[in-house]
Copies of this chain bind each other. A is one copy, B any other.
Amino acid sequence: MQYRSIIRILGLLVAVFSVSMLPPALVSLWYQDGAGVPFLLSFLICIAAGLLIWYPNRSYQRDLKVRDGFLIVVMFWLVLGAVGTLPLYLSSETGMNLADATFEAFSGLTTTGATVLTGIETLPKAILFYRQQLQWLGGMGIIVLAVAILPMLGVGGMQLYKAETPGPVKDNKVTPRIADTAKHLWLIYVVLTLACALAYRLAGMNWFDAVGHSFSTVAIGGFSTYDASIGHFDSSAINMICVVFLLLSAINYPLHFAAMRGKNILTYWRDPELRAFLFIQGSLVLLIFIGLLRSQVYDTTWEAFDHGLFQAVSISTTAGFATGGFAYWPLYLPILLIFSSFIGGCAGSTGGGMKVVRVLLLFLQGKRELNRLVHPRAIYSIKLGRRTVPDRVVEAVWGFFAAYALVFVIIMLLLIMTGLDNMTAFSATAACLNNLGPGLGDVASHFGDIPDTSKYLLVIAMVFGRLEIFTLLVLFTPAFWKN
C-alpha cells in the first residue's frame, strides 16, 4: 500500500475542499445573516490542516494500484464527511450536537438528504446554502466514483461499464483517466444544474431557492430550504420541473455523453437499462395514480396525478423530495415506493439504491432459470441488448445483492436494539442505505428525535450505500491488508 501517497492525496483533498466553505461565507455576507464566522473558521482550519498533511508527503506521487484505490475512495468520503461536519458543529444557530452535525453532513455529501433539522426556513441563509452545496458536491463525487472508479475497481459487477467510460483506458493508471472522465461528465452535470435552476426561477422560485433546489435536484439529494420540501411552493409547474430533472439525473451519465457526442436521441432508447428504468417509472406512476384515485386522498384527478407522479419519481429515483399529503396516503403506497427505492437510479448516475441494471440482471437470471427448468439441456446466456453479459459480471452482481441484504439486516437489527420500532428501523435503514432520505414511522419527516447511536449507525448505512457496499466491506477482509 502506498500509504504516504494516499496521505498526500487526502491532504490535498482537504485543502481543496476547504474552498467550499467560502461560498456560504459569501452568502452570509450578502444576506447579512451573521452566520459566516463558522464557515471562515472551517476554511482556515481545513486549508491549514490539509497543507500540513500534504507538505511532508508532497514528493510521494507514485502510481497507485487497485488496492490503494479502495482505501482512497473510502477515506475520501470519510474525510470529506468529517470536514463537512465542522461548520455545522461550530455554528451556534443550529443547536446541533456532534451526532446531529455528522448525520447532516454525511447525509448531504452522500446525497441521502435525510435531515435532523426542523424549522429549516428559520435558519441563516449561509447554512441553507451550505447544505444544498454539500449535496451538489457529493453528486459530483458520485458521478466520478460510479463511472470511473468503481468499474475500475470491479465493484459489484460495474466492470460491465469499464470499456464504455469516455476517455483513454489505461489499466492500473488511475489519475489521468479519472481526470478525463470527470471533465466530460461534470460539464453535463453543470449544464443540467444551470438549466434546472433557470427553470425553477422561471416557474416562480426566487434565485436563492432556485439555485439551492437545482443543486439538490441534479444530485438526487433531496435537501430543501423548507420543512415542507418542494411542497412549500405548491406549484404543479415546479413539481413537473423537478420530475423532469430527476429523471434526467437518474440516467447513466456516459449515456448522456454518448447521446450528445453522437447528436442522436435514439442512443437513449438503445440502452436496455434506460428502457427498464422508464418501464419501472411508468409502472410505478400508474400504480400510485390508480391507488390514489381509488382511495380518494385528493379532491381532483389532476391533483392525484400531480402528487402521484411527483412522489413516485421522487422516491423511486431516491431523491426523497416531498409534496403534501404523503402521510395520508393508504399505507401500501408509501411502502411500495420505499421498496422501489431499492432499485433506485441507473448505474453511473447520481441516484441511489441497488441500480436498475443490477435489478435487470436479477430479473434476467430468474427468467433464465425458469427457462432452464423447462429445457434443461438448452444453453441460455444473459443479454443486455445485443451484448452477452459475462458470467463473471453476473456473479459479481449476485455477490453485491448478498452483501446488500446482509448489511441491511445487520444495520436494521442494530437500530431496533437502539430502541427504534420496526417500521422506523426498517424504513430508516432503507432510506439511508439506498441514499433516499425520508423514512416512515418516527423518521417520516426528520431524523432529529432518534438516539445518537442510531444516527451514527445510519451514517454508516449511508456510506455503505454510496460506496456500493463492497468498496467499504473489502477493507474488513484480512486478504486486503496482506501483502
Residues in chain A within 8 A of chain B (CB atoms): 66-67, 70, 153-156, 331-332, 335-336, 339, 362-363, 365-366, 368-376, 391, 394-396, 398-403, 406, 409, 413, 416-417, 421-423, 426, 470, 473-474, 477, 479-480
CB-based nearest B residue for A359: B402
A417 to B335, CA, bound (A): 11
CB of B369 within 8 A of CB of A332, answer no
Residues of B near A331 (CB, < 8 A) are 416, 421-422
B-chain residues with CB within 8 Å of residue A66 when the two chains form the complex: 376
Given contacts A365-B399, A368-B395, 5 further A-B contacts (CB under 8 A): A153-B373, A371-B477, A372-B396, A374-B474, A374-B477
CB pairs A–B below 8 angstroms (13 shown)? A67-B374, A154-B376, A331-B421, A335-B416, A366-B406, A368-B395, A371-B477, A374-B474, A374-B480, A394-B395, A398-B398, A401-B401, A422-B423
Q: Cα distance A276–B362 when bound, in Å?
A: 26
- CB pair B332–A365 under 8 Å, yes or no, is no
3 closest residue pairs by CB, A with B: A369-B399, A332-B416, A366-B402
Cα separation A400 to B368 with both chains bound (whole Å): 11
Chain B residues, CB < 8 A from A375: 479
A270 to chain B, nearest CB (A): 26
Please name all residues of chain B whose beta carbon is closer than 8 Å to the beta carbon of A402 when the two chains form the complex. 362-363, 365-366
Most chain B beta carbons < 10 A, residue from A336, A370, A371, A400: A370
A335-B416, A336-B413, A413-B336 known; A395 and B369 CB under 8 Å? yes
Residues from chain B with Cβ under 8 Å of A396 in the complex? 369, 372
A403: which B residues are within 8 A, CB to CB? 366, 369
Q: Closest residue to A398 on the B side, CB-wise?
A: B398
Closest-CB distance, A310 to chain B (whole angstroms): 21
- Considering residues A371, A373, A376, A422, which has the most beta carbons from chain B within 10 angstroms of its beta carbon? A373
Residues on the B chain within 8 Å of A376, using CB:
66, 154
Considering the complex, give the chain B residue whose CB is closest to the CB of A153. Answer: B373
Which chain B residue lies CB-closest to A399? Answer: B369
CA of A264 to CA of B408, assembled, Å: 41
Instruction: State the CA gap A67–B426 with chains docked (Å).
Output: 40
Complex-state Cα separation, A94 to B479, whole angstroms: 61
Chain B hits for A391, CB < 8 A? 391, 395
Q: Which residues of B contact A366 (CB under 8 A)?
A: 399, 402-403, 406
A465–B480 CA distance with the chains assembled, in angstroms: 39
Q: Are B371 and A479 neighbours in the complex by a CB distance under 8 Å?
A: yes
A363: which B residues are within 8 A, CB to CB? 402
- CB <8 Å contact, B400 and A470: no
Task: Identify the closest chain B residue to A402 (Cβ).
Answer: B366
Chain B residues contacting A155 (CB-CB under 8 Å) are: 373
Q: Are B416 and A370 in contact, with the CB atoms below 8 A? A: no
- What is the chain B residue whose CB lies nearest that of A401? B401
Residue of B nearest to A418 (CB): B332
Task: Tell me how far the C-beta of A121 lies from the nearest C-beta in chain B, rounded to whole angstroms.
Answer: 32
Q: Nearest CB to that of A171 among chain B residues?
A: B376
